[in-house]
């Protein structure tokens, strides 16, 4: 029997913690759709990229930060208390994710090149990495 680490991490999550874990899972699923295109393992599909970027937009910015009320970092949450200690940085990264997802969608719908897509996705993924590095266990 195989059990995913994400499933174990989400076990026991309720309320706002469960909502944000599900939102981050949705973001991760969309990134996993696009990374093979970025690496050339799958052909670049602007329609799929636009759809994925729209989903990420919906789970970022103010929608995302609203799921982090102060004190919601107990287990099973992987959120560090640094989120509330540097709320400004956290909200800036959440808003940057929204902006980068919007940029990615614009590349896809405006007929941007595959290189434009790769650059835009790379920038968005760097925002994810920065936030996880600073604010996730």
Residue 38: its pLDDT value, please?
98
Residue 74: its pLDDT value, please?
85
Residue 44 vs residues 3, 56, 60, 63, 67: alpha-carbon distances, Å: 31, 18, 24, 29, 33
Residue 12: its pLDDT value, please?
80
Residue 2: its pLDDT value, please?
44
Q: What is the percent of the chain where pLDDT is above 70?
A: 93
What integer best gives the mean pLDDT of the chain?
A: 93
Instruction: Identify whether the C-beta of residue 44 lies closer than 8 Å to the C-beta of residue 55.
Output: no
Up-side HSE of residue 5: CA atoms within 13 Å toward CB? 1
SS (H, E, C) the chain: CCCCHHHHHHCCCCHHHHHHHHHHHHHHHHHHHHHHHHCCCCCCCHHHHHHHHHHHHHCCHHHHHCCCCCCCCCCCCCECCHHHHCHHHHHHHHHHHHHHHHHHHHHHHCCCCHHHHHHHHHHHHHHHHHHHHHHEC
Residue 9: its pLDDT value, please?
52
For the chain, residues with pLDDT lower than 70 are 1-10
Domains with residue ranges and CATH for the chain: 5-135 (1.20.120.10)
Instruction: Identify whether the C-beta of residue 46 lies closer than 8 Å to the C-beta of residue 108.
Output: yes
List, for residues 64-97, the tens digit of each pLDDT value.
999 999 999 888 999 999 999 999 999 999 999 9
Residue that is written with structure tokens 């940085």 in the block: 89
Q: Please tell me the distance from the alpha carbon of residue 103 to that of residue 123, in angstroms, as a whole number.
A: 10
């Amino acid at each position: 029997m195989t059990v995913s680490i994400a499933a174990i991490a989400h076990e026991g999550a309720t309320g706002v913690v469960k909502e944000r874990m599900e939102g981050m899972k949705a973001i991760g699923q969309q990134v996993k759709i696009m990374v093979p295109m970025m690496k050339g393992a799958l052909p670049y599909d602007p329609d799929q990229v636009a759809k994925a970027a729209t989903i990420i937009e919906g789970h970022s910015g103010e929608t995302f930060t609203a799921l982090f009320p102060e004190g919601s970092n107990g287990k099973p949450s992987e959120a560090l208390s640094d989120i509330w200690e540097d709320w400004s940085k956290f909200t800036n990264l959440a808003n940057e994710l929204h902006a980068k997802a919007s940029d990615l969608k614009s590349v896809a719908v405006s007929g941007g090149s595959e290189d434009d897509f790769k650059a835009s996705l790379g920038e968005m993924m760097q925002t994810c990495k920065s936030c996880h590095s600073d604010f996730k266990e």
